[in-house]
Structure 1
């Protein structure tokens, strides 16, 4: 199974400040974001959304939410592997895009998002 880095996601109370900082330092620009049921923005470089900003007003500081990787493997194969690991996970789907997201709770608190386009 081959994985490709997809994006980093951050939780923050001030999405605009984080967006401005990524623009000033890395030249990342806002772009299309699926209609998730929570506020946020996606920041792009050369057509790839590298940073996802999730806006949560109750936070005092920005914090890493998760690291995402994508694969061309079928989502059912990915899910079977995750289940075999024994690690806790949750499954979601990106609105309008059809991408399956498997959020895996890693030891130490890190969350990985594993993305696959096929159906279960």
Structure 2
């Protein structure tokens, strides 16, 4: 057996419409086709791949110490993202990964899920 990669992340939310808007408007992803499950939800796509599956729940999920601390996406356009986050007044940090040519933009979605968006460190040129 050979693993080929991570397929998707499944996120339960009581704020489905807000979460879809966040992933579309803030991160520039798009919602798209989803199987006709017997529960509400949305699939959020990167290109042709539905990488974030949102599942609507009636009440916000209780979370004291999550076992999954974050999920990460890879992107280009560091300046565009940080400007978009600043304009939307979304708290974030830009952090270099020691010893690796990666810069992370750390932020939270509408439900407080930690996400980091990874960029090649070359995109930091002229920003420091």
The alignment's TM-score, normalised by the length of structure 1, stands at: 0.47
> Which structure's residues are more often strand, by fraction?
1
In our comparison, the structure showing a higher alpha carbon Rg is: 2
Q: Which has the higher contact order (CA 8 A, sep 6+)?
A: 1
The alignment's TM-score, normalised by the length of structure 2, stands at: 0.44
